[in-house]
A and B are shown apart, each in its own frame.
Chain A
Amino acid sequence: MEPTGPESARPADPCAPLLERALGLVEDHTFAAVREWKAAHPGALAIGCMPIYAPRPLIEAMGALPVGVFGAGAEIDIIRGDSYFQSYLCHIPRSTLELALAGHLDWADGMIFPSICDVIRNLGGMWQMLFPGRYTFYLDLPQDFTPAVGGRFYVEQLRALARDLAARGARSLDAAALRQAIADENARRQRLDTLDALRRDEPWRVRASEAYLVARAGTLMTAREHVRLLDEFLTVIRQRPVRAFDNARVVMVGAFCEQPPLALIRTLERAGCDILDDDLQLGLRSIEGPIELRDGEDPVESLARAYLERGVATASRYIADGVKGAALIEKVERCGADGVIFCAASFCDPALLDQPMLETALDRAGVPHTSVKFAENQRQVRREHRAVPDHPRAGGRVLRRRQTLGRPAMSTKSSALESAKDRSQLHQKQMIAGHFERLARAREDGRKVVYTFVPGNLTELIDALGMLPVLPEINALQSGMRGRSGGYILEAEKAGHSEDVCTYVKCDIGMMRGGNIGPTGTKLPDPDVLLLSYTGCFTFMKWFELLREQYKCPVVMLHVPYQADGRITPEMRGYVVEQLRDKVIPALEAIAGRKFDLDALGQRLTLSARAEDDLVAVWESARHRPSPIDGYFGGVYYIGPIFSAFRGTADAVGYYRELRAEVEARIAAGEGPMSPDGPLGPERYRLVVEGPPNWTSFNDFWRMFSREGAVVVASTYTRVGGLYDTGFRHDSQHPLESLADYCLGCYTNLSLPARVALLERYIRDYQADGFLINSVKSCNSFSAGQLLMLRELEKRTGVPGAFIESDLVDPRYFGKSNIENRIQSYLQMLEARRQGGYS
């Protein structure tokens, strides 16, 4: 028999009017309720808050209304919003932008973009460019949870937000008002807890879809109003005539940002699931229990402390201590759930990267699980083909056994042909081979191994402690160039990783599962520590959480704040320096088994700066005509030593001196750069390129340019591991500060407007005929917002741009004829425009 819940009692359902009211609020994309609130509170501000978490009590304490903005669901046409986002990005940014461009968010006196992923982060930058007069605030939630370090940084951000709001007409922040607002928030939290408990105890009395509506409606009102609504609901819900029935009891996770269509939640319910807990509307439940107010404590500190100490485990929060998935299992046990349904938005990096770890934890605990993917505007829902359980009471309708998808065969043949090489390139090859030899001998030599990332790498520090770095991105790109990445990625996908997420991660996981054989054919040593330099890329955090699961080694987190406003503030620098001094260095010392020597670091930083000078001279040589370098395809070789294990070494200094001399010789001879087919022919087009290259067909890709006489005079990808041509140099006089500035200044840590400004500068300084954006599916940090960058750059420079799409190391996403078609069209367009017409 079809299980029926309160629907059967609908004629007399006392909850219906309230639920209808909540539905009306949630589905109203014009935000009429917010407009009414503003009309009733003249002069008061309304602040839009993107998921997940925003400090609502602080906003309320200033007399302003925090308003949850969760996209537009399914009911509006997305035209302009879609025009700014590639198809491999999630849906919430496009519908949110559509709302804003249509004027539906013009009530907002400001928007808060919390640091939950690279897409929402970049959406904040797009907001700055599209709505220059409107206030945007990037809430960089700390990933360091000690009060003296992360706490201080967070408190400073809260104070900055308060200052900004006051400057825009909000009441100034007053401790008593904030205490009251926190008390109101705690009252709301208590009602939500009651509602959750009721759901767990009597799921037939209140369905998840109803609890969701009543919670979400509250994001459009003050906590106090929401308390009234919840009280009313809790009263009528208890009067609802119900009968108990026996459904599958499940917990749903993954939909903490983009919200699933209501129909999906209801469908799961109709299919026989009681959803006893979920992370929908997580923002209102981001703090476990009440925010504790201590006597004599500044309530701003209380708010920050609550986040640090009692923030709930979710995908966008780094799990520093404890076991990944423990919180979910505890939730399952608390609910007495039979299983878990993963319900993530398509292309949601946090949820989808987290999911395999949670699945592993559930498998270990014997908790069955299945998964679906959705988009907020979708009628069709994709069930992932790697589900698990078979709950007898679910009648097999929702939960199914694991299936294995047949995967297309993939060639492992290398597409990277041997290309013509400069002498410096051969030198570099020897340096890298030497490094891998050292790695192979690391154990016998008693050297500790640090896995870390290119952006924000602390190579000088690692070297000063006698440790050896391994850079997984470089392994992944090497696998791509050697034609191995396709197989590795399939391996990772077979193990449960989503096809939507970063292929560097999957390539690395696949390589690890295949024995961790490095590019030179020898096994890489396991890490002694994972140095998580969390710089400019959300995925880094998940990547090392995943590796930690495998290697069971310590992770050292270095949270590098994002330059959302295009500058490094003293607070940001201080936060990084404090982490280096109080966290990173002591942790590395303990693993290295030796004391950190500041002088040893200083000596290395001096060498770094020397190499950086020569590298900048190489970059700037492209001002010549013909350019003696290709600043992208050739450039990726030039950055090899300085972005990897050699910054701060005499080897690197020698390499860059040699490279510079080679380039100067070419200038003197009036020669262009090398191409895969030998010296480049006459220079016909000078281009600037944004975005990483594709590695699986690197030389094919390069030839699409070199054979047309197109040379890249500057690129941004070659600045991801350090941006030196705007003046920064490592500085032995201020070692930790300069390491902090280095990390903060890496290209992907720049705001979108700052990235546009840098590209604009390159286009002008290097007299480019055009610019090209290679938008890679894997890298949201780069890609989200690139279509706006394209338009903005065309507008500012009058130079036409081209846009192509590929991927880093997934050969499935490199459509050769498709890309070549676009590039040739673009170059022919440049030619026709140069001629001023056809003839």
Chain B
Amino acid sequence: MKCVVGIDLGSTTTKAVLMDERGGILGQGITNSRSNYEVACAVAHEEAVLAARRSLLERAIESLAGPGAAEAKAIRALLFDALRLELYLEELGELEDSVVRHVAGPAVHALRDVLEPAAREVLGEMRRAAPDLFLGGAARKSDFFRDVAAAGFMAGAERVSADGKVPFDRLVGLFDRAILDVEVRFRRPAFAPLLRRALGRVAPENGGDGGSARTRIESALREAADREIEEVAFVGTGYGRQTLPFPREAVKSEILCHGRGAHDSFPDTRTVLDIGGQDTKAIQVDEHGVVTSFQMNDRCAAGCGRYLGYIADELNLGLHELGPLAMQARRMVRVNSTCTVFAGAELRDRLALGQDRADILAGLHRAMMLRAMSLLARSGGISNAFTFTGGVCKNPMATRILEDLVRENYEGGITLHTHADSIYMGARGAALFALDDLRAGRPGILPNFGRAAAQPAEDPPCGRADPSVRQHGQDVDD
């Protein structure tokens, strides 16, 4: 099937969207932007391809009928959790290889006898604990490998160094170096074998009965894996646009992409607020989703997602934990500065004054959203309907305060839209621009960011093997 790709390279995360010819979302992928944009794009893109296969599989399972179909549908959710577990274990394997390489290096060689067994023990325990983490319903602070692995490694390192024989700092330093290798290395996960392993975890072989859930899923899997995904056009956008490894003609402004993505999700949208890691955008669009005016925060990142990031770091919390904690506030502490540089100092001062953590957090959220309100006013105010997008939109406190502020400052029932996939709006808009090219018969442009990201032995993951078309069908044949 033909599809187009949109990639949004943000300061914190990189997002990719695969869209079919009708404008339907086939798959979405997200990864942290790390230090290598090419890898980030390649990884997000690959995730989106994987997700597209997953959604094809879901559709195939959904259409099953007859013996085993109901059972197959019942284990579907668990199957996809198991798939993520398998992906995690694959990366963990790479991490282990990387640790072994680094422990032999000159920097820590003298401590190798202590560090290597300790690291192996920690990683072994992480491997053992992984099924619980993904299949046991436990809460994870993040879906990114770096974050999940770091949390596991830190906990393990504390444990193994408790007796003082293993130097904790050196062990963690080892992790820090090793994780960089994993992050800047691009892998192309093979969908079918991974999924078969996942299937083995949730539906063990039971004798080859053609009606079993496993057999039915396997046949659906073949259908999904063999389906050709033909990427015919591509558009990239995002904060890192100037350093993007995309052809110049394939780059669209993030303002246009965010406006369009939000408008596509909610066609009555006239005002969009997007709060990302480094910038906040207030965008006005017309009935066609065309941007009529926009404002972005000035050079400093005060009041952007990064601000919450610093606060989370200061409190040693996950970013996604801030909102729920702030929701528990009984009163809102008044905070007048959203200066990112002073965020930590402000927080410590207030904690030292004995103010409640949740109350302070509520105040910080409010200060941040007040800034966003000013930016909205600067761009021409809020018109109905109003769509809130970007990473911060996932924060329930931010959304609640925004609702309150809109009610207090604008008359007459403004509808506030938020979307579970709000973080993908920029990539979605980019994909829509690529779709324009497809529909207009303009020559498709495909990026070559994979070249630097790929392992030497492999083909460029997203390069132009054939001048304009990249096929993924063969990837799952093994």
Q: Report whether chain A binds chain B.
A: yes
Encode contact with A along B434-478: 1 for CB under 8 Å, 0 otherwise: 001001100000000000000000000000000000000000000
Encode contact with B along A809-829: 1 for CB under 8 Å, 0 otherwise: 000010111101110111011
Instruction: Give A317 to B439 CA distance when docked, in angstroms.
Output: 67
A545 to chain B, nearest CB (A): 30
Listed stretches B15-23, B111-119, B369-377, B417-425; interface member: B369-377
Listed stretches B55-63, B146-154, B291-299; interface member: B291-299
Listed stretches B95-103, B121-129, B175-183, B252-260; interface member: B252-260
A96 to chain B, nearest CB (A): 15
Q: Are B260 and A838 in contact (CB under 8 A)?
A: yes
Q: Say whether A379 faces chain B, with CB atoms less than 8 Å apart.
A: yes
Q: Say whether B378 faces chain A, with CB atoms less than 8 Å apart.
A: yes
- Closest A residue to B336 by beta carbon equals A377
Instruction: Give A163 to B376 CA distance when docked, in angstroms.
Output: 41
* B236-288 interface (Cβ within 8 A of A): 239-243, 252-256, 260, 288
Q: Give every chain A residue within 8 A of B295 (Cβ-Cβ).
A: 803
- Given A380-B349, A805-B299, A821-B253: A83 and B374 interface contact (C-beta under 8 Å): yes
- Given A74-B336, A379-B336: A805 and B298 interface contact (C-beta under 8 Å): yes
Encode contact with B along A773-812: 1 for CB under 8 Å, 0 otherwise: 0000000000000010001001000001101010000000
Q: Say whether A832 faces chain B, with CB atoms less than 8 Å apart.
A: yes
Q: Give every chain A residue within 8 A of B92 (Cβ-Cβ).
A: none
Q: Which of A821, A822, A837 has the most CB of B within 10 A?
A: A821
B248 to chain A, nearest CB (A): 10
Residues on B facing A (Cβ under 8 Å): 239-243, 252-256, 260, 288-296, 298-300, 302, 334-337, 342, 345-346, 349, 370-371, 373-378, 380, 405, 409, 432-433, 436, 439-440
Q: Say whether A404 faces chain B, with CB atoms less than 8 Å apart.
A: no
Q: Say whether A421 faces chain B, with CB atoms less than 8 Å apart.
A: no
* A737-794 interface (Cβ within 8 A of B): 787, 791, 794
In the assembled complex, 24 residue pairs joining A and B whose CB atoms fall closer than 8 Å, in A order, are: A79-B374, A80-B377, A82-B370, A82-B377, A87-B302, A377-B336, A379-B349, A380-B345, A380-B346, A800-B293, A805-B299, A813-B299, A816-B242, A821-B242, A822-B296, A824-B241, A825-B254, A825-B291, A828-B256, A833-B290, A836-B288, A838-B260, A838-B288, A838-B432
Instruction: Give A55 to B241 CA distance when docked, in angstroms.
Output: 56
Instruction: Give A829 to B432 CA distance when docked, in angstroms.
Output: 16
- Closest B residue to A775 by beta carbon equals B298
10 A-B pairs closest in CB distance: A83-B377, A825-B253, A82-B374, A825-B255, A83-B378, A817-B242, A837-B288, A377-B336, A83-B374, A828-B253
9 extra interface residue pairs, beta carbon distance < 8 Å, beyond A378-B336, A828-B253, A833-B290: A79-B409, A82-B370, A380-B337, A794-B293, A821-B254, A828-B255, A828-B256, A829-B291, A832-B290
A347 to chain B, nearest CB (A): 13
> B242's contact among A378, A794, A820, A825, by CB below 8 Å, is which?
A820
> B294's contact among A88, A380, A820, A825, by CB below 8 Å, is which?
A825
- Given A805-B298, A838-B288, A838-B433: A825 and B256 interface contact (C-beta under 8 Å): yes
- Closest B residue to A261 by beta carbon equals B336
Q: Give every chain B residue within 8 A of A825 (Cβ-Cβ).
A: 253-256, 291, 294
> What range describes how many residues of A lie at the interface?
35 or more
> A82's contact among B294, B337, B371, by CB below 8 Å, is which?
B371
- Closest B residue to A75 by beta carbon equals B334
Q: Say whether A4 faces chain B, with CB atoms less than 8 Å apart.
A: no
Instruction: Give A199 to B381 CA distance when docked, in angstroms.
Output: 49
- Given A79-B409, A380-B342, A813-B299: A832 and B291 interface contact (C-beta under 8 Å): yes
- Closest A residue to B302 by beta carbon equals A87
Q: Are A839 and B436 in contact (CB under 8 A)?
A: yes
Instruction: Give A239 to B345 CA distance when docked, in angstroms.
Output: 42
A441 to chain B, nearest CB (A): 44
Q: Give every chain A residue within 8 A of B336 (Cβ-Cβ).
A: 74, 375, 377-379
A493 to chain B, nearest CB (A): 17
Q: Say whether A86 faces chain B, with CB atoms less than 8 Å apart.
A: yes
Encode contact with B along A65-92: 1 for CB under 8 Å, 0 otherwise: 0000000001101111111101110000
Q: Are A79 and B256 in contact (CB under 8 A)?
A: no
- Given A378-B337, A380-B349, A816-B242: A828 and B252 interface contact (C-beta under 8 Å): yes
Q: Give every chain A residue within 8 A of B378 (Cβ-Cβ).
A: 83-84, 787
Instruction: Give A825 to B336 CA distance when docked, in angstroms.
Output: 31
Instruction: Give A821 to B296 CA distance when docked, in angstroms.
Output: 10
Q: Are B337 and A829 in contact (CB under 8 A)?
A: no
